[in-house]
Structure 1
Amino acid sequence: MKQGYRKLEKHEKQPMRIRNDKKRTIFLDLDETLVHSTMEPPIGVNVDFMVRIKIEGGVIPMFVVKRPGVTEFLDRIGKKYRVAVFTAGLPEYASQVLDKMDKNRVISQRLYRDSCTETNGRYAKDLSLVAKDLGSVLIVDDNPFSYSLQPDNGVPIKPFVNDMEDQELMKLADFFDGCYQYEDLRDAATEFLYPTS
């Protein structure tokens, strides 16, 4: 001890803090972002799985096609981020799809239509209701209205409708690999939308 300060020995050195050691969250839309579902088997495309939804005493089959690379995408972003799904779909449908799609259990939170904010018959996903720090969350959705309450947090994606050559999720995985360096993820989203180079 010298003048109130204690000299740290070599073995007492503290590890350097990472820029932001809290795990950030990526909210993903389900339909037309991760999968495409129809009530009839699609023509010319292999169905990945089928779910049956009980509605008003009847059972409706839904044929589901996964977007190319969805499993790899989830595994890759799940290494650095907390992954959640925020869908305007009903839990009776969406929970079955997620059970079958997320075999590796990467998705840690599921939010359905009852968590959305309805405006004129359309569903917006209000991130302020599910996240304390809006700088540490992004939402990926094919419908810009979904993130209209927090447009700076939105990362748009082209809608997926059975295009088996689609590479959008791999592009997004590259983006998420790079945006971890940003203190505020909204800055990363702006860079994604309006790249400077």
Structure 2
Amino acid sequence: MSILTFHCRLLRCVSRCFTATTISYPKREKLEDFQREYTNTKRTVILDLDETLVHSTTQLPGVKYDFMVMVKMEKEIIPIFVVKRPGVSEFLERLGENYKVAVFTAGVEDYASQVLDKLDKNGVISQRLYRDSCTEVNGRYVKDLSLVVGKDLGSALIVDDNPSSYSLQPENGVPIKAFVDDMKDQELLNLGEFLECCYGYEDMRDAVKDLLA
């Protein structure tokens, strides 16, 4: 059992043991009403791309790749082979039912936009930010979440395999194991369960505190 599944189940069990003032997690059909009780702004999940949703390589991967994109690098067109993380299509559809979904990547737009076009056939992702939107800190690309949600940071979480990417707002970060070629990986399934639990929090950053406690 992953840490995401464990915490989600633990929170459900605890909620049954307290009075009505304690958080109880609503069924899926109740999520929209429950959300409006806390905020007029739709909650936002910001996703990293590489090693979070997909793994990309210029060499043939050790597993079957899902698609290929062609990217210009130093005046040469290079093929990029892309392997989708298991469950990514279902995860995006599930997430889009209740959240605004954005992707914030340190990848260049020429590459990342092609990958997202193929990955998000149903248009779940409503906002895309690329390397040129990152802030460079000590030679690293850092993602400022205020570019997505403004000052309403309590309404958003970022999922990223690299914690330094959200170092400007670490309290909003949900870590995820980096994906390369493990086709039995279930991180997105477990993440989906955790994100449903986040509706029980007025400030989504408190969900992260409980997750990492």
What's the counterpart of residue 183 of structure 2?
164
Q: Is residue 150 from structure 1 mapped to residue 169 from structure 2 by the alignment?
A: yes
What's the counterpart of residue 140 of structure 1?
159
What's the counterpart of residue 184 of structure 1?
203
In structure 1, what is the Cα distance between the partners aligned to 2:91 and 2:212? Answer: 20
In structure 1, what is the Cα distance between the partners aligned to 2:168 and 2:155? Answer: 16
Q: Is residue 105 from structure 1 mapped to residue 158 from structure 2 by the alignment?
A: no
Q: Is residue 70 from structure 1 mapped to residue 88 from structure 2 by the alignment?
A: yes
**The structure with more helix, counted as a fraction of residues:** 2
Deviation track 1:93-144 (CA, whole Å, cap 9, x = no partner) reads 0000000011111000000001100012210101123322000010000000
What's the counterpart of residue 4 of structure 2?
none
Q: TM-score with structure 2 length normalisation? A: 0.81
What's the counterpart of residue 16 of structure 2?
none
Gaps of 5+ in 1: 1-14
Kindly name which structure, 1 or 2, has the bigger radius of gyration based on alpha carbons. 1
Deviation track 1:47-94 (CA, whole Å, cap 9, x = no partner) reads 000000012321010000000000110111111100000000000000
More off after superposition, 127-136 vs 158-167: 127-136
In structure 2, what is the Cα distance between the partners aligned to 1:42 and 1:19? Answer: 45
Q: Secondary structure, in 3 states, of the residue corresponding to 1:74?
A: helix
* Correspondences of 1:50-129 after superposition (within 5 Å): 50-129=68-147
Please say if residues 19 and 181 of structure 1, whose CA atoms lie closer than 8 Å, have aligned partners that are also in contact: no
More off after superposition, 16-25 vs 144-153: 16-25
Residue 138 of structure 1 aligns to which amino acid in structure 2? L
* Cα RMSD for the two superposed structures: 1.4
What's the counterpart of residue 4 of structure 1?
none
Residue 37 of structure 1 aligns to which amino acid in structure 2? S
Residue 53 of structure 1 aligns to which amino acid in structure 2? V
Q: Is residue 24 from structure 1 mapped to residue 43 from structure 2 by the alignment?
A: yes
Residue 76 of structure 1 aligns to which amino acid in structure 2? R
What's the counterpart of residue 40 of structure 1?
59
In structure 1, what is the Cα distance between the partners aligned to 2:75 and 2:171? Answer: 42
CA offset at residue 21 of structure 1?
4.2
More off after superposition, 113-122 vs 80-89: 113-122
Q: Secondary structure, in 3 states, of the residue corresponding to 1:18?
A: helix
The number of aligned residues is: 179
In structure 2, what is the Cα distance between the partners aligned to 1:170 and 1:128? Answer: 27
Q: TM-score with structure 1 length normalisation? A: 0.87
